[in-house]
């Protein structure tokens, strides 16, 4: 099959997310995958001119070096707000170009504006369109005034898509309430590479590399560092903790990175907070193995976190690590109360909960429960489900 994926994020620098996992695995199965992405990080990387030219990246992979994904990045005007407007034109042109040249059997949308564009064009030429939700995207639009507009566009696409796929039950309730027909709406959960993420992958030199001792209790987070990720509150809580062997290891970059650096310096936490920056995905098992407890301390009152279940949780749990999470509705519904995830009311409570787990000797038992729970979510099974959905919708369209 020829599959065209479209998203409004940087395919190369963000993730790996659900779409990266599936794209690489479908490529390994012999399918041709092309991606239209968006240079969302242009502000952080510097302008380098007011306009970026169209780029093509061949043989891209995020999970397996044997995967062959082609990423096409249309140009944009690098002026805040105008960059979104320019997407309407450059992505419109690119979708038309790919329909004519690539002739995809199906289009899978992970964005808002370009999904609306692609849906309209797909309907004209009888190509099935699949709308895949791993997040409530309009809540991530940095300009609050545009979030309402984004929601309207999302709802229109939900109503007309041939299939709507979501990664958890809470998100399913949300999209159906937003207009997705229940009969075409299906849950395909996040998956886990059980060979890459397993407790026996725990032979790691990360502790030695970052000066962590055997007697240290290491709290770990990986991913994009949003301001609402709760890590600043965890770091500030660590500053109040008198036990010096409680450490915080963070892998990732993002909006809160500079604030975390400032907290580290202000409270003299150089030996207790480790900011490792962005690291290759292949190193994540080693980092998780070096930790004792993993964290998801995001603001439970933040709307964008209400309905999602980040893939990182499955990876933490597959490594046999307990997770401390705030009471996020999607996470609580997905993992329940006795499967290796323990809950706190606010990010600042994570330090107290971690100390309690250590004191009560519960880390090992919770880690075993976590691994057992996620074993059913192998990426091979998830890819099978996704591949089947695409085949079914193509066949329906032909009839």
pLDDT tens digits for 353-366? 999 999 999 999 99
Percent of the chain's residues with pLDDT above 90: 74
Q: Is the pLDDT of residue 367 over 70?
A: yes
User: In CATH, what number does 199-374 get?
Assistant: 3.40.50.2000
DSSP-derived pairing of the beta strands 69-73 and 55-60: antiparallel
- Mean pLDDT score across all residues of the chain: 92
Q: Is the pLDDT of residue 202 over 60?
A: no
At residue 164, the pLDDT reads: 97
Q: Is the pLDDT of residue 215 over 70?
A: yes
At residue 79, the pLDDT reads: 86
Q: Is the pLDDT of residue 203 over 70?
A: no
- Mean pLDDT is lowest, of 143-147, 188-192, 247-251, 328-332, for 143-147
pLDDT tens digits for range 268-313: 999 999 999 999 988 999 999 999 999 999 999 988 888 888 889 9
Output the CA–CA distances (angstroms, integers) from residue 328 to 139, 192, 305, 323, 325, in the order listed: 16, 21, 7, 13, 8
At residue 290, the pLDDT reads: 93
pLDDT band at 241 (very low <50, low <70, confident <90, very high): confident
200/54: higher pLDDT: 54
- Mean pLDDT is lowest, of 17-26, 144-153, 182-191, 388-397, for 144-153
At residue 349, the pLDDT reads: 96
Residue that the structure tokens 């770091």 belong to: 235
| The CATH fold of domain 2-191+378-398 | Rossmann fold (3.40.50)
pLDDT band at 127 (very low <50, low <70, confident <90, very high): very high
Which 3 state secondary structure label does DSSP give 91?
Answer: helix
C-alpha span between 5 and 110 (Å, rounded): 8
Q: Is the pLDDT of residue 48 over 70?
A: no
Q: What are the residues whose beta carbons fall under 8 Å from the beta carbon of 72, sequence distance 6 or more?
A: 34, 35, 36, 37, 54, 55, 56, 57, 94, 98
Q: What angle do CA 26, 111, 301 make, to 5 degrees?
A: 110
pLDDT tens digits for range 2-11: 999 999 999 9
Mean pLDDT of 329-349: 94
pTM of the entire predicted model: 0.79
Q: Where in the chain is the domain with CATH 3.40.50.2000?
A: 2-191+378-398, 199-374
State the DSSP code for 98.
Answer: H
- Mean pLDDT is lowest, of 46-50, 183-187, 196-200, 243-247, for 46-50
Cross-sheet strand order for the sheet of 69-73: 55-60, 69-73, 32-36, 2-6, 106-109, 129-133, 163-166, 185-187
Structural contact between residues 95 and 6, judged by C-beta atoms closer than 8 angstroms: yes
Task: Show contacts of 17-20: CB within 8 Å, 24+ apart.
Answer: 17/134, 17/311, 18/132, 18/134, 18/167, 18/190, 18/311, 19/108, 19/110, 19/132, 19/134, 20/62, 20/63
At residue 37, the pLDDT reads: 96
Structural contact between residues 317 and 374, judged by C-beta atoms closer than 8 angstroms: yes
The pair of structure tokens assigned to 121 is: 């064009």
Q: Is the pLDDT of residue 237 over 60?
A: yes
Structural contact between residues 322 and 340, judged by C-beta atoms closer than 8 angstroms: yes
Mean pLDDT of 92-96: 96
């Amino acid at each position: 099959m020829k599959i065209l994926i479209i998203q409004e994020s940087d395919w190369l620098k963000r993730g790996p997310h659900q779409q990266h996992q599936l794209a690489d695995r479908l490529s390994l199965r012999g399918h041709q995958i092309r991606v239209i992405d968006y240079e969302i990080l242009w502000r952080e990387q510097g302008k380098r001119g007011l306009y970026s030219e169209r780029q093509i990246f061949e043989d891209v992979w995020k999970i397996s070096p044997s995967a062959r994904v082609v990423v096409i990045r249309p140009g944009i005007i690098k002026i805040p707000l105008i960059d979104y407007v320019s997407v309407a034109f450059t992505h419109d042109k690119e979708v038309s170009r790919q329909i004519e040249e690539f002739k995809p059997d199906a289009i899978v949308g992970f964005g808002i504006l370009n999904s609306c564009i692609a849906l309209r064009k797909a309907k004209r030429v009888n190509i099935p369109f699949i709308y895949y939700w791993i997040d409530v995207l309009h809540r991530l639009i940095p300009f609050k005034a545009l979030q309402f507009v984004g929601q309207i566009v999302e709802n229109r696409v939900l109503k007309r898509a041939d299939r709507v796929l979501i990664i958890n039950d809470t998100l399913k309730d949300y999209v159906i309430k937003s207009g997705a027909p229940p009969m075409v709406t299906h849950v395909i959960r996040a998956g886990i590479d059980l060979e890459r993420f397993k407790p026996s992958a725990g032979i790691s030199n990360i502790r030695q590399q970052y000066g962590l001792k055997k007697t240290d209790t290491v709290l770990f987070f990986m991913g994009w560092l949003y301001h609402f990720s709760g890590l600043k509150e965890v770091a500030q809580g660590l500053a109040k903790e008198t036990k010096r062997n409680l450490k915080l290891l963070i892998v990732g970059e993002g909006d809160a990175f500079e604030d975390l650096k400032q907290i580290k310096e202000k409270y003299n936490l150089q030996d207790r907070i480790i900011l490792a920056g962005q690291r290759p995905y292949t190193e994540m098992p080693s980092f998780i193995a070096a930790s004792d407890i993993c964290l998801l301390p995001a603001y439970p009152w933040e709307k964008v976190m209400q309905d999602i279940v980040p893939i990182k949780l499955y990876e933490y749990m597959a490594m046999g690590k307990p997770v401390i999470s705030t009471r996020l509705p999607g996470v609580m519904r997905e993992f329940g109360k006795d499967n290796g995830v323990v809950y706190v009311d606010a990010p600042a409570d994570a330090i107290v909960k971690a100390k309690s787990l250590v004191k009560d000797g519960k880390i090992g038992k919770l880690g075993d429960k976590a691994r057992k729970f996620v074993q059913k979510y192998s990426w091979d099974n998830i890819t099978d489900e996704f591949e089947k959905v695409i085949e079914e919708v193509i066949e329906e369209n032909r009839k």
